[in-house]
């Protein structure tokens, strides 16, 4: 504690241990209202602390088996059902968007004809109850390993939980796609690293490329030349 009623201040650092890459975000400032900290007036007191570990698949396995981390899977339902870590919590960061306003309908149609068709990805929106759902299942002092397929959603989820007061958070850097078979006991019809594969990209070789090109060209033709497309379709015998 600093003398004379003044507070202390520390800031974010990036450090490496022998096992984990740790991103530590820590800002602590304490001082009475109106006092000076290094010559500047401080209007209010506040404390913010956070820490997120970024680990690989083997290190994640150790966190669960040895250190008692609980696994929170933030992927969408389709990927989760294909394969997930046994006994994990499933709290999707994004949920299926079933809204029926005109803007959403247009976006959903475009999505389903491209990302949905080729990669099997659902049309989603942010889950407004994500943080609250996690809090209902795990207290903020819990050790939490957040997983997704590629590592992006888990990082975003970690940031949300960090802001909500969770103090022990870890993520797999490149997601479950980087986990070796057998690293975790899993449930589902495929391996964890393959759970993100769906849609036409699962069709191998020239078939996938040719079919994809035909469908994309057809979609663009119908979109930009609807009248001509209608005349061509009328020539096709039913």
Residues forming the active site: 148
Helix (H, G, I), strand (E, B) or coil at 194: helix
Helix (H, G, I), strand (E, B) or coil at 213: helix
58, 76 in Cβ contact below 8 A? no
- Residue 11 to residue 1: CA distance in whole angstroms: 17
Residues whose CB falls within 8 Å of the CB of residue 115, separated by 6 or more in sequence, listed in order: 121
Q: Which residues of 191-205 are buried (b: 16+ CB within 10 A; e: fewer)?
A: bbbbbbbbbeeeeee
222, 229 in Cβ contact below 8 A? yes
Which residues lie across from 146 on neighbouring strands? Answer: 72, 171
């Amino acid at each position: 504690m600093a003398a004379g009623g003044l507070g202390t201040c520390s800031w974010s650092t990036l450090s490496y241990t022998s096992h984990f890459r740790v991103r530590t975000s820590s800002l602590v400032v304490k001082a009475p209202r109106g006092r000076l900290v290094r010559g500047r007036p401080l209007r209010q007191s506040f404390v913010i602390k956070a820490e997120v570990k970024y680990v690989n698949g083997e290190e994640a396995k150790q966190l669960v088996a040895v250190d008692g981390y609980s696994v929170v899977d933030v992927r969408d339902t389709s990927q989760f059902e294909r394969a997930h870590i046994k006994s994990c919590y499933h709290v999707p960061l994004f949920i299926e968007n079933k809204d029926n306003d005109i803007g959403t309908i247009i976006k959903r149609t475009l999505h389903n004809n491209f990302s949905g068709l080729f990669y099997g990805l659902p049309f989603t929106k942010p889950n407004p109850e994500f943080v609250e759902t996690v809090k209902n299942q795990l207290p903020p002092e819990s050790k939490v390993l957040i997983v997704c397929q590629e590592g992006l959603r888990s990082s975003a989820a970690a940031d949300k939980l960090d802001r909500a007061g969770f103090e022990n958070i870890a993520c797999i850097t490149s997601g479950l796609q980087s986990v070796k078979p057998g690293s975790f006991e899993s449930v589902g019809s495929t391996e964890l690293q393959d759970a993100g594969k769906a849609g036409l990209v699962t069709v191998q070789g020239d078939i996938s490329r040719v079919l994809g090109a035909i469908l994309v060209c057809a979609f663009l033709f119908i979109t930009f030349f609807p009248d001509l497309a209608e005349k061509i379709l009328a020539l096709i015998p039913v």
